[in-house]
Structure 1
Amino acid sequence: MAESIDDVLDKALRNLGISKKVKKTQILNTWSKVIGEEIKEHTEAKYFDRGTLFVNVDNSSWAHQLLFMKENLITKINEKLKEELLTEIRFKVGHISDEQYNFAQQKKNRIEKEDLNKAEKKELEQTANYIDDDNLREKFLNLLTESRKTNKWREKNNWHECPECEVLIPEFKDKCSICELKENNEQLVEKIEQSLYTTPWLSYDKLAAKFPQLKQRDFDAIKDNLAQRLETKLDEMMVLALEGEIDKQKLRVLVQNYVMLETGVSPENLTDRLIEKIIGSNKMKIYNNL
């Protein structure tokens, strides 16, 4: 039976004693092809030794997140190589080269160059107009604009919706980070949600100190999800309050927790004016009668 070109080349490389060096190079090159741009911004494959790929990561949050993705990445790399060369990936927080840093900057510049049409700009301006403070409104509008440009860039680069929550994710990923986090460590998500429910004013930095694997965007997603659930529960309890069928103290606590979660304000700084701003005047009338 005739040998394939790949078999012939592999045999020739082994005879020349350079097969291992070539395979090491293949592994390093394949890493950047398989991981996609999002991870490429923060990582650099350094070397490969006896089945293990050693990867530098620019911060601890990404290093922890990549641990959840490790098995999937190993499978994808071996599939790309058409050979079971990789058995382990070890992530280490460390320096990434100027080339990788420049890649991240280039991506940021490409996103900034995305154009928004007049209708999109008007929509974002209308969204921001409810903020009275000029400086705060401008910052919020800039944030909305950056988010819209990022989504347009992602759509152009074949990002797709996460099947669980519909946020845009890179082509190589099956689910977004928060859904992967829930799938791989539901207990961790539950602990973070419990911490936010009992102390809703906690910031990301304080929770990340307790849960080092927590990323900012995962924190935001968990917090938003919890806020939506509290808001739904609040609406239900407000209706029951009108009918006199609710524990008034329980509803007061729910209102306060919801407002602190939305604003990050601690209990000693919670005011009736702030509560009314968040829940609205109609619900405030019910709240004042509790």
Structure 2
Amino acid sequence: MFRIKDIVPNTLKSLGINKQYNAQSVIVHWPEIAGDEIATHAWPISIKHGVLLLAVNNPVWSHHLMMLKPGIINKINMFLHEKLVADIRFQAGDLKKYQNHEEDEQSSLSIRPAKLDSEELTGVWEATEPIKDINLRKKCYYVLIKQTGIDKAKKKAGWQSCKRCSVLVQPGQNYCSVCSLEYKQEKKQAIIQLLTEAPWLSYQEASQIVPCSPREFHTGKKRLIHKLVHALFEPGWDRLNEATLVMLMTGIKPDRIDATIVNTVISKIKVRLAEKIRRKNYVSAFRR
């Protein structure tokens, strides 16, 4: 006799959606994987190309989790029985907005399943046809009846399918919790990519290309500026990067920028960085 937990992964793998399912499993089972203490301070946002993005509620825990990174990666992959995660990156954030799935589950529990007609019951029974073991098929049949009844009740209450997947979401929502997080991350990346290619754009101009709020725009711009500033002294830095950084910080368009402006702004940035490093070293030496 086969067990449901053995059948589901194989079915998902045959459908080509095993990795997506496992990525969602990490989010749903995060406290079980990482432990309640870590889950209190960090929550998974997404897994893409083997990289897990974690929201962390304070810098101290970001540093602490950096030290625990190998062990966390190992726990995730052991839980999934698959080497899905190869690295972890950390992002400061409010964990509550990344834990909406719990609210969705609670609202789902408050909905009573609707009764199914004979045609719907027949459809559910036919859907279990690939399961050869009759006892297991009956168990799956009753589980599917309940879930189908809940979905039917949700639709009557005005729930609609997520714009990205088939999961039903409450009236007024466009995306399920998982897709909503993915959409926000994609928007952030789109803003950063746009500003990388056209760093002089204002919010009004950029929002016409990538619809976003002022806060989303300025957050993306700030991240890109910080990235370029920190790369100032790294190998491979060139004049194009300098011009990009200057246009980001000043809003000057390409046809109005010249070497003098670039050199002036970059020199000021380097002076400020040197002062900051000097103050930091002084404070560290004083504390000793």
Give the structure-1-normalised TM-score: 0.31
Q: Which structure has the higher relative contact order (CA within 8 Å, separation 6+)?
A: 1
